[in-house]
Amino acid sequence: MIFLLSRLNGQSIFLMFTGYYMYIETSSPRMAGDNAKLEISVSGKGELSCLEFYYHMYGDTMGTLNVFSGNTVVFSLSGNQGDYWIKVEKTIYLDNTVSFNGCHA
């Protein structure tokens, strides 16, 4: 997973990860309800920001990816999305954390 968080005022750009990705196994021995979470502490509470990341959700055992800013869901997607890396760009209001939660179907 590669993602970028930047403030819309153009003053700051935070490159959180580059060249790495987070992988969640969804085939055996994983079971329905298993989940994984990547949580990043961020500054700028309440600031309007741009969150960019890529996802790849391919296969019959895909679950759900939820992305939160604090307790607010800013992105959610479930199921097989094809054998592609897909870019997401979302304008969000920052809270203290941005988290990526993957849950097995």
The dihedral over CA atoms of 37, 5, 53, 102, expressed in degrees to the nearest 10, equals 10
- Predicted confidence at residue 11, as pLDDT, reads 42
- Predicted confidence at residue 18, as pLDDT, reads 56
* Residue 16, Ramachandran bin (φ over 0: left; ψ between -120 and 50: alpha; else beta): alpha
CA-CA distances (angstroms) from residue 8 to 13, 14, 49, 53, 88? 9, 12, 5, 16, 16
- Predicted confidence at residue 67, as pLDDT, reads 95
Q: Which residues of the chain have pLDDT under 70?
A: 1-21
pTM: 0.80
- Predicted confidence at residue 99, as pLDDT, reads 92
- Predicted confidence at residue 13, as pLDDT, reads 42
- Predicted confidence at residue 26, as pLDDT, reads 75
